[in-house]
Amino acid sequence: MRSLRNIFRLGLKELWSLFRDPVLMALVAYTFTAAVYAVAHGVRTEVRNAAIAVVDENRSTVSNRVREAFLPPYFQRAALIGIEEMGPAMDQGRYSFVLHIPAGFEADLLAGNHPVLQLNVDATAMTLAGNGTAYVTRIVQDELAGFLSERGAQTALPASLVPRARFNPNLQSQWFFAVMQVIGNVTILAVVLSGAAVIREREHGTIEHLMVMPVTALEIMLSKIWANGLVIVAAAVLSLLLVVETLMGIPVPGSIGVFAAGAAIYLFSVTSLSIMLATFATTMPQFGLLAIPVFVVLYLLSGGVTPLEAMPEPLRSLMQLSPATHFTSFAQAVLYRGAGFPLVWKDLLAVICIGTVFLGLALGRFRKTMAAAR
pLDDT for residue 210: 66
pLDDT at 138 over 70: yes
pLDDT-based confidence at 208, cuts 50/70/90?
low
pLDDT of residue 260: 94
Q: How confident is the model at residue 371 (pLDDT cuts 50, 70, 90)?
A: low
Residue 166, φ and ψ in degrees, nearest 5: -75, -50
Nearest Cα residue to 118 out of 99, 97, 141: 99
Domains and CATH numbers, the chain: 2-43+172-373 (no CATH), 52-150 (3.40.1710.10)
Using a pLDDT cut of 90, give the percent of the chain over it: 29
**149 confidence band (pLDDT: 50, 70, 90):** confident
Q: What is the predicted pLDDT for the residue at 160?
A: 58
What mean pLDDT is reported for the chain? 85
CA-nearest of 334, 356, 354 to 344 is 334
pLDDT classification of 81: cutoffs 50, 70, 90: very high
pLDDT score, position 119: 93
- One-letter identity of residue 236: A
Pairwise CA distance, residues 33 & 27, whole Å: 10
The model's pLDDT over 163-191, given as tens digits with 9 standing for 90+, comes to 777 777 777 778 888 888 999 899 888 88
Burial 129-168, CB ≥16 within 10 A → b, else e: eebbbebbeebbeebbeebbeeeeeeeeeeeeeeeeeebe
Which amino acid, residue 212? V
